[in-house]
């Protein structure tokens, strides 16, 4: 018998690695600033953002908990403990989109981690744009991931108004999960974003329009006008507050189609991957739950023993 009061959710958790590529120290943003961005993502993709109250009443019912979460990777591609943050000093003044220079050490950037296990986010100084993203059909391309300007990432530190609430990354990860702009893939064209519950919109919006904005545009009878507060428009961070149910469906489909092996197990050191079939593995190091190397194992404390074959064992020495 189903209990109508009980609803189960299946949350998809996406492991993230943030590659900070910096020339001067101000671009080398703090761990706290990075975590402030992850916090925004976990609010926006779960409809836990407090500004959801600003969504116009007419669209509140389709404002969606996308059931997608993000976590900083705690295991790197070699099986070692990590904070999920890499830091690379560069001689490049600023990076552009063409040929993705920030995504390779050979051009002054940082190499990605395997894109079938991690969402790669590069943070650097960008030329004349807030950020950019690849699309899901490029899952296996080495450049898969998103790039965000260091002054538009997170909510503290180097962020600059009006792009200081972390919505550049929310928007770009929307693209990374197959969303188009709400006005479609062209410009000023009343195009379609292939999502039914977002109204047709003539073109992008900037700043912070009042509601309703552009009613009956594109020859429609839509008195509510543009959904300019959708994360997939170009309005100010403080004016964005929703993904729709249709956008959620499209993102989940993209994950299922292209990204079915994404796993949250590389976000927390697992307790059950001891590989007893491998002999002669050599202990590399022992770390605590914060990733700090431990030289003298403590008792009654969970510690992680990391071996040269990539395996990790969680042990507690009981006193
Ligand atoms: Zn965009
Ligand atoms: Ca639409």
Give the residue among 91, 1, 60, 42 at the shortest CA–CA distance from 245. 60
Closest ligand to 199 CA? 2
CA 246 to ligand 2 center in whole angstroms? 9
CA 48 to ligand 1 center in whole angstroms? 22
Closest ligand to 196 CA? 2
The lowest-confidence range among 100-109, 146-155, 190-199, 283-292 is 283-292
CA 141 to ligand 2 center in whole angstroms? 28
236-284 pLDDT, tens digit per residue, is 999 999 999 999 999 999 999 988 777 777 887 444 333 333 335 667 7
The whole-model pTM stands at: 0.82
Q: What are the catalytic residues?
A: 172
Closest ligand to 183 CA? 2
93-139 pLDDT, tens digit per residue, is 999 999 999 999 999 999 999 998 999 999 999 999 999 999 988 77
CA 316 to ligand 1 center in whole angstroms? 47
The lowest-confidence range among 187-196, 214-223, 308-317 is 308-317
């Amino acid at each position: 018998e189903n209990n109508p009061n009980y609803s189960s959710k299946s949350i998809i958790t996406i492991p993230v690695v943030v590659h900070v590529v910096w020339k001067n120290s101000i671009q080398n943003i703090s761990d706290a600033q990075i975590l402030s961005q992850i916090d925004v993502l976990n609010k926006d993709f779960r409809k836990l953002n407090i500004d959801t109250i600003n969504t116009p009443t007419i669209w509140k019912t389709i404002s969606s908990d996308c059931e997608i979460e993000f976590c900083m990777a705690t295991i790197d591609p070699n099986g070692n403990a990590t904070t999920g943050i890499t830091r690379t000093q560069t001689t490049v003044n600023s990076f552009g989109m063409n040929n993705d220079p920030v995504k390779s050490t050979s051009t002054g950037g940082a190499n990605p981690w395997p894109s079938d296990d991690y969402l790669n986010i590069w943070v650097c100084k960008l030329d004349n744009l807030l950020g950019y993203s690849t699309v899901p059909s490029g899952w296996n391309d080495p450049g898969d991931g998103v790039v965000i300007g260091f002054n538009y990432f997170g909510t503290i530190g180097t962020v600059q108004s009006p792009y200081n609430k972390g919505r550049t990354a929310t928007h770009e990860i929307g693209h990374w999960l197959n969303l188009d702009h709400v006005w479609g893939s062209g410009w000023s064209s009343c195009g379609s974003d292939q999502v039914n519950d977002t109204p047709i919109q003539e073109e992008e919006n900037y700043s912070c329009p009042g509601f309703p904005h552009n009613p009956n545009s594109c020859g429609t009878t839509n008195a509510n006008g543009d959904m300019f507060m959708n994360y997939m428009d170009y309005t100010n961070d403080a004016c964005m507050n929703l993904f729709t149910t249709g956008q959620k469906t499209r993102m989940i489909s993209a994950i299922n189609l292209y990204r079915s092996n994404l796993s949250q197990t590389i976000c927390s050191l697992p307790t059950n991957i001891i590989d007893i079939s491998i002999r002669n593995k050599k202990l590399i190091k022992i770390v605590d739950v914060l990733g700090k190397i431990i030289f003298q194992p403590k008792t009654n404390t969970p510690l992680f023993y990391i071996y040269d074959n990539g395996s990790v064992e969680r042990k507690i020495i009981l006193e």
